[in-house]
Structure 1
Amino acid sequence: MNDRPAVTLHGEHLLPRDTDVDALVRAEHGDPFSILGPHPDGDGLMIRAFLPNALGVEVLERSSGRTLASMEQGQVPGLFFTRLTHPQPYLLSIRWPGGVHVTEDPYSFGPQLGEMDLYLFAEGNHRELARVFGAQVVEVEGVQGVRFAVWAPNARRVSVVGSFNDWDGRRHPMRLRFPSGVWEIFIPRLQPGDAYKYEILGPHGILPLKADPMALATEHPPGTASIVARPLDYQWRDDLWLRERAARQAVNAPLSIYEVHAGSWQREGGENGPIYNWHELAERLIPYVKEMGFTHIELMPIMEHPFGGSWGYQLLSQFAPSARYGSAHDFAAFVDACHGAGIGVILDWVPAHFPTDAHGLGEFDGTALYEYAHPFEGFHQDWDTYIYNLGRTEVHGFMLASALHWLRDFHVDGLRVDAVASMLYRDYSRQEGEWIPNRHGGRENLEAIEFLQHLNEVVTAEVEGALVIAEESTAFPGVSRPVADGGLGFAYKWNMGWMHDSLKYIQEDPIHRSYHHDKMTFSMVYAYSEHFVLPISHDEVVHGKGSLIGKMPGDRWQKFANLRAYLSFMWTHPGKKLLFMGSEFAQWREWHHDRELDWHLLNEPEHKGVHDLLRDLNRLYREEPALHELDSDPAGFQWLIGDDRANSTFAWLRKSSSGDPLLVVANFTPVVRGGYRVGVPITGRWREIFNSDAACYRGSNNGNGGGILAEQVEQHGQPLSVSLTVPPLGVVILRPEG
């Protein structure tokens, strides 16, 4: 279409130039508000609307619904215009082939986001993005509707598309707020539940429809659209929990975490049945966790993710709970129910990488926006995912706001940050020549380190008592040291070294364990270098690694005895505890995300024995300060026997700041150790308060008859000692009776 002077009507310029019309028709106009909607025209008002496929449009008085004018067709079908004699609020009555739709004109509303919102976003420090960006149900000038805002600085045009406009990108092109790169529009009368995406014209052409990075709700997979969410108006009842949370989650408190994949813990009707929603899980999971004595549930990522087989770790919606389990309101009710039962909730959270699905964040506006541009920085070869560019202030702020969204809006008690090691090092899992050094020539990812430090400082300052836990597998120093002291500022770090060493040891045939004795003692060399969680997580029971019981050597009896001894060792070792679901009752099969756990095994005595043992270990762990109070203090642990390699036997004291110590003795051979002398510091009778070989756990019931008297025989640097029967593949715990 050739450019020409604007067409005039009654001496007034009502029609846009042909170049503008051509851009509207081709959905390439970068500033639709300059053409569409109301524009002053002398004493009157010029109104234009582009409504492809509409049969006709009338302008109505907003207050009364009286017809003010019929709009005429412009240069092309779908372009309508008219002039009112004076400015006033109006409605558009649009005749479509399927009926009449009356609505306010989206292009009659001014800019929506405040300058401070845009400034804080660009700075990377907007803490409330979940309440500002994305699709927000709002009222503007007395009109109910939805405000959309999305960051796409390199786009030539962005439109909201959905069922409300037949997914036609010509209908609702957005306004660009320069220089922030944020596009926005208020669409009147849209309702919660409406599906939408963004149609983006990038520098090199139209892109696949994109889901909203800030969506608060999504379609149920395999659907990929975002959903306009109703504002979260949940009435919380957990004030007491929140007041007590800092003390409950302090470093001197017991922390015993049950790691759960929500879709496969239990299913309706059995193994392959439908998954439970949050309400159904609350009815079943919470009483179970409470009965078992865990203090916390850790949920594998419940943010929306396209592929269920990623277990949630390849997620695209950093702000939306997965529709698989229900609404945001449903999830809030689940968290509230946990708190009502005295159980904390930790979420796995993934700021390291995101999947390459076409509707996702990758090349969101036609350029590398959320990810690094260079594949040596921006692509994970192992996981086939993109890496967040946390050095970009807007991405930094996006992820910070996501963390705060879960912690503040959903009252979540902690975040377990996934794959921290991959964030810290630019050469993570890369060969020489496949990574780009930082500005100092080093391998550390300085931008990611700065983000993690900022995250932990903000959470500490703004969410009282909340935990941020690092899954970090390297020797990076100071992961749980305060930022002010040069650390990363995490509350805890997963002790991956302890996990690898102890599992390596327990998988050895007992006859060979004497050659691997140091695997069980080495962790105490560095036990106080960080605040640690001891993790036996889902990672240890997938990808052909088999189940925890499946790792144990020996015949059936020895396998169960080994597992009971291993769990007892773990629960008496310094460090908070984490155990993946199914391990507490010795599931044989490797975990699979598409089927429920093998609950029928609890009908078998050996499995019930492990189940009961773990319940009792959790009770002891919570009730005995010596087992948790000084987890991060060398004063809380003392080796008595750490070098009995020949007998594969260990003994140590656990201590608290006040009260009696506990004596722990572990025998990792299938031989009963009779008359095994161990030094003790206190006279009198030592009562056996736990025995992993007890008959109630389906052990051989070797032990010390409930207790034993200390004798005036010096041993292991102690003035007294006890002569014990240490059961085969067993752990006993004794406490002074006085």
Structure 2
Amino acid sequence: MADLDLDPGALAALVEARHGDPFAVLGPHDVAGGRELRVMMPGAMGVQAVSGEQVSTLRPVHEAGLFAGRIPPGPYLLRIDWGNGVVQETEDPYSFGLLISDFDLYLLSEGTHQDIANCLGAQPMEVDGVKGVRFAVWAPNARRVSVVGDFNSWDGRRNPMRKRLEGGIWELFIPRLMPGAVYKYELLGPEGNLLPLKSDPFAWQVEPPPATASVVADIAAIPKPPRRERPANQAAQPISVYEVHASSWARGDGDIALGWEELGDKLIPYAVEMGFTHLEFMPIMAHPFGGSWGYQPLGQFAPHAPFGPPEHFARMVQRCHEAGLGVILDWVPAHFPSDQHGLAMFDGTPLYEHSDPKEGYHRDWNTLIYNLGRREVRNMLIGSALHWLERYGVDGLRVDAVASMLYRDYSRNEGEWVPNIYGGRENLESIAFLQELSRVIQQRCPDRLLIAEESTAFPGVTRKPDDHDGLGFDFKWNMGWMHDTLHYMQTDPLYRRYHHGEMTFGLVYAFSEKFMLPLSHDEVVHGKGSLIGKMPGDEWQRFANLRAYLSFMWTHPGKKLLFMGGEIGQVREWNHDRSLDWHLLDDPRHAGVQRLVRDLNRLYRDTPALHQRDCVAEGFAWSVMDDAANSVFAYLRFGEDGEKPVLVVCNFTPIPHQGYTVGVPMAGAWQEVFNSDAAIYGGSNMGNGGAVQATEEPSHGQPASLSLTVPPLATIILTPP
């Protein structure tokens, strides 16, 4: 070692895997008298440098695996003898220059790198004519970061990375590494402590749980989405969403979850036949625990591995589009699990989360809260949103748990939360993040949907971010409508007269935001039972109640969302480890509910008055809102000028009404285009014989009126011919 041109301290740091600047030691270096090459190959029997016809044998200079020697100028290959006849030839990772541009580093530091998915993480590429993988990770407080995997025996001494001081980014190009390689990062924390191996926050692919490593994705194999025309004003379009948990919609042989290919074969034609406009998947981002249903993700850029590689998910989206279905993904920028291989204390410090548990710990879900006041964290999440919208071409994101993001005291008692800088409870950093998110999406992909699951009265969720501090969402889940109306439907019809306002109250605020009406997975888990299980009465009444309620929902202002199983009258509560009970469709009552939902979707889509003015007051008028004694509701829906109006009449008692008068805007024939009590749906087949004549007798503030037969526990829909 006497002639090695290397400081002893640097040598010790290198062999002990604590050197923070490996390129200062490893690779080729000009020294007195020539060019010296140093490589760290623990376990190697010998190393040679091959420069054309010239072979230079490097001498071992430390028992830990450091080799060094003089080599001629110019390019070279390493020939590594691993013993037992195994010889590897490869380029030297430490012979390559800087990889990430200064402009990229500037954008990363500013938190404005909108193409971050193609900048950080594992990127297969060609550098100086050599194919390999460039790794890059943000860990500003780490003393040393190494890429480890099967390709280097998971030895952190082999491939330590170069730190770009400008942005706290560590980078390394490993030549000849191919897609499919499994890897993690090994880090020394700021105190020099060795941290648990970390998965790549920016990985495009991960191992299936319970394994936790990242995988080098074959990015070139992921088809790029073709350009797809979408309506500019989606508030005026029919949107009927089928919410799906991918691994429990249907199961394969051996009761295992289907992959994207098999799921698409069954789910896509089913959703099309049922008339839904969109599929919404509960989070398909990589998550370590299936029981979280995806709502505790760690891989914000990677599809969940058990369903197949990223290219299979991309093909699933394409197949949906080819069939005329939009795709919405649930997306979680609020919190993340504390698994030690994930984001928690990523570089030995609270990097992605808050340091104070009063801000950074979510007691409801035992998770950590993103520090959205940090620009790099915002950049990562906005980059994730764009990744799904642009790289995979999905049509929208439903942002989960927005209410928990908006308020610092969410689910916290007095003294357990930190006020904002003005002493208030609003989370100003989260509000700014959501506004930035909506602005970026509006700029980059203005035809995509951004939907909020938001359960409070926070104002302006669907207003533009520059319009009186709006958040910029396209739609907001109407949680109040869902809770009120479900409570009403669970009440015995004998007592519904005392809860009449629960069905009308939603119209008081229906046009204060652009709403989506959700009957989501949250209403059929944790002991809440199924939709059909909530309905009172005997078997006939339970099915009649469900049919009448779904018909009320499909004709009420607001876009629609129904969780899988609701359309077949699933009896048992949803179980994420079991398939839906498709055998129920052998029962005509369940098949009747399915047919009703299918017909409602088609009627909703084909009738402008039922969707064009979903979000404006001009699209709705009460005819009968105060008949609590009979639990009857009647209302009119209007489309744009020139479109035919629609009359909806709901009877939520088991008592039919003959000669029931309802005001309408015009005399003449009105067709009964839908009746939830029809025999084809399992009803008693009471109705108006397909048509009824309106007379010029004013009623309910309208110039004409109808005398109707209103079936028991039923909703009927009428329209002029």
In 1, the alpha carbon distance for the partners of 2:477 and 2:209 equals: 32
In 2, the alpha carbon distance for the partners of 1:516 and 1:532 equals: 23
Match of 1:427 among 390, 406, 409: 409
Q: Given that residues 468 and 491 in structure 1 are in contact (C-alpha distance below 8 angstroms), is that contact kept between their aligned partners in structure 2?
A: yes
Q: Given that residues 225 and 392 in structure 2 are in contact (C-alpha distance below 8 angstroms), is that contact kept between their aligned partners in structure 1?
A: no
Deviations, residues 529-554 of structure 1 (Å, cap 9, x unaligned) = 00000000000001110001000000
Counterpart of 1:173, as a letter, is P
In structure 2, the residue matched to 1:437 is: 419
In structure 1, the residue matched to 2:655 is: 671
Instruction: Quote how far apart the aligned CAs of 1:484 are.
Output: 1.6
Instruction: Quote how far apart the aligned CAs of 1:68 are.
Output: 2.5
| 3-state DSSP of counterpart to 1:113 | coil
Question: Is 1:227 aligned with 2:209?
Answer: no
Q: Given that residues 371 and 387 in structure 1 are in contact (C-alpha distance below 8 angstroms), is that contact kept between their aligned partners in structure 2?
A: yes
1:186-335 pair list within 5 angstroms? 186-204=173-191, 205-235=193-223, 238-239=226-227, 242-243=228-229, 245-247=230-232, 250-269=234-253, 273-335=255-317
Question: Is 1:23 aligned with 2:7?
Answer: no
Instruction: Quote how far apart the aligned CAs of 1:232 are.
Output: 3.9
In structure 1, the residue matched to 2:690 is: 706
Instruction: Quote how far apart the aligned CAs of 1:77 are.
Output: 3.9
Counterpart of 1:671, as a letter, is I
Instruction: Quote how far apart the aligned CAs of 1:728 are.
Output: 0.4
In 1, the alpha carbon distance for the partners of 2:220 and 2:437 equals: 24
Give the TM-score of the pair, scaled to structure 2: 0.98
In 2, the alpha carbon distance for the partners of 1:70 and 1:236 equals: 47
In structure 2, the residue matched to 1:534 is: 517
1:651-662 pair list within 5 angstroms? 651-657=634-640, 658-662=642-646
| 3-state DSSP of counterpart to 1:483 | coil
- The 3 A distance-change label for structure 1 pair 48 and 238 is closer
Q: Given that residues 223 and 314 in structure 2 are in contact (C-alpha distance below 8 angstroms), is that contact kept between their aligned partners in structure 1?
A: no
Match of 2:706 among 722, 734, 738: 722
Question: Is 1:694 aligned with 2:678?
Answer: yes
Match of 1:60 among 39, 42, 50: 50
Q: Given that residues 238 and 339 in structure 1 are in contact (C-alpha distance below 8 angstroms), is that contact kept between their aligned partners in structure 2?
A: no
Instruction: Quote how far apart the aligned CAs of 1:215 are.
Output: 0.4
Deviations, residues 596-650 of structure 1 (Å, cap 9, x unaligned) = 0000001100000000000000000000000000011111000010000100000
- The 3 A distance-change label for structure 1 pair 77 and 663 is closer
In 1, the alpha carbon distance for the partners of 2:197 and 2:521 equals: 34
In structure 2, the residue matched to 1:110 is: 97
Question: Is 1:176 aligned with 2:189?
Answer: no
Q: Given that residues 246 and 466 in structure 1 are in contact (C-alpha distance below 8 angstroms), is that contact kept between their aligned partners in structure 2?
A: no
In structure 1, the residue matched to 2:41 is: 51
In structure 2, the residue matched to 1:7 is: 2
In 2, the alpha carbon distance for the partners of 1:50 and 1:401 equals: 35
CA RMSD of aligned residues (A): 1.1
In 2, the alpha carbon distance for the partners of 1:160 and 1:461 equals: 36
In 2, the alpha carbon distance for the partners of 1:547 and 1:468 equals: 28
| 3-state DSSP of counterpart to 2:296 | coil
Deviations, residues 222-250 of structure 1 (Å, cap 9, x unaligned) = 110000011144445743xx12x134x61
Counterpart of 1:129, as a letter, is I
Match of 2:75 among 60, 85, 89: 89
Counterpart of 1:37, as a letter, is G
Runs of 4+ in 1 over 6 A off after TM superposition: none
Q: Given that residues 223 and 311 in structure 2 are in contact (C-alpha distance below 8 angstroms), is that contact kept between their aligned partners in structure 1?
A: no
Q: Given that residues 40 and 87 in structure 1 are in contact (C-alpha distance below 8 angstroms), is that contact kept between their aligned partners in structure 2?
A: no
Counterpart of 2:328, as a letter, is I
Unmatched runs of 5 consecutive residues or more in structure 1: 1-5, 9-13
Q: Given that residues 58 and 67 in structure 1 are in contact (C-alpha distance below 8 angstroms), is that contact kept between their aligned partners in structure 2?
A: no
| 3-state DSSP of counterpart to 1:251 | helix
Instruction: Quote how far apart the aligned CAs of 1:719 are.
Output: 1.8
Question: Is 1:682 aligned with 2:666?
Answer: yes
Question: Is 1:155 aligned with 2:142?
Answer: yes
Question: Is 1:615 aligned with 2:593?
Answer: no
Q: Given that residues 92 and 102 in structure 1 are in contact (C-alpha distance below 8 angstroms), is that contact kept between their aligned partners in structure 2?
A: yes
In 1, the alpha carbon distance for the partners of 2:118 and 2:183 equals: 18
Counterpart of 1:218, as a letter, is V
In 2, the alpha carbon distance for the partners of 1:621 and 1:183 equals: 53
Instruction: Quote how far apart the aligned CAs of 1:109 are.
Output: 0.9
Q: Given that residues 15 and 74 in structure 1 are in contact (C-alpha distance below 8 angstroms), is that contact kept between their aligned partners in structure 2?
A: no
| 3-state DSSP of counterpart to 2:377 | helix
Instruction: Quote how far apart the aligned CAs of 1:73 are.
Output: 1.3
Counterpart of 1:683, as a letter, is A
In 2, the alpha carbon distance for the partners of 1:726 and 1:591 equals: 33
In 1, the alpha carbon distance for the partners of 2:80 and 2:632 equals: 84
1:249-648 pair list within 5 angstroms? 250-269=234-253, 273-485=255-467, 486-648=469-631
Q: Given that residues 408 and 418 in structure 2 are in contact (C-alpha distance below 8 angstroms), is that contact kept between their aligned partners in structure 1?
A: yes
Deviations, residues 152-186 of structure 1 (Å, cap 9, x unaligned) = 01101100000000000111111110031111111
Q: Report % sequence identity.
A: 61
Unmatched runs of 5 consecutive residues or more in structure 2: none
In 2, the alpha carbon distance for the partners of 1:43 and 1:27 equals: 29
Deviations, residues 310-347 of structure 1 (Å, cap 9, x unaligned) = 00000000000111111111111110110011100000
In structure 2, the residue matched to 1:38 is: 28
In 1, the alpha carbon distance for the partners of 2:471 and 2:609 equals: 28
Instruction: Quote how far apart the aligned CAs of 1:67 are.
Output: 3.9
How many residues are treated as equivalent by the alignment? 717
| 3-state DSSP of counterpart to 1:416 | strand
Q: Given that residues 265 and 597 in structure 1 are in contact (C-alpha distance below 8 angstroms), is that contact kept between their aligned partners in structure 2?
A: yes
Q: Given that residues 246 and 464 in structure 1 are in contact (C-alpha distance below 8 angstroms), is that contact kept between their aligned partners in structure 2?
A: no
Q: Given that residues 377 and 436 in structure 1 are in contact (C-alpha distance below 8 angstroms), is that contact kept between their aligned partners in structure 2?
A: yes
In 2, the alpha carbon distance for the partners of 1:67 and 1:672 equals: 98
Instruction: Quote how far apart the aligned CAs of 1:43 are.
Output: 6.0
Question: Is 1:734 aligned with 2:718?
Answer: yes
In 1, the alpha carbon distance for the partners of 2:356 and 2:518 equals: 34
Counterpart of 2:496, as a letter, is R
Q: Given that residues 225 and 391 in structure 2 are in contact (C-alpha distance below 8 angstroms), is that contact kept between their aligned partners in structure 1?
A: no
Q: Given that residues 105 and 166 in structure 2 are in contact (C-alpha distance below 8 angstroms), is that contact kept between their aligned partners in structure 1?
A: no
Instruction: Quote how far apart the aligned CAs of 1:75 are.
Output: 3.8
Deviations, residues 492-520 of structure 1 (Å, cap 9, x unaligned) = 00000000000010000000100000000
Instruction: Quote how far apart the aligned CAs of 1:682 are.
Output: 0.9
| 3-state DSSP of counterpart to 1:478 | coil
- The 3 A distance-change label for structure 1 pair 726 and 232 is farther
In structure 2, the residue matched to 1:130 is: 117
Instruction: Quote how far apart the aligned CAs of 1:275 are.
Output: 1.2
Deviations, residues 177-233 of structure 1 (Å, cap 9, x unaligned) = 003111111111101000000001002311110000000100111110000011144
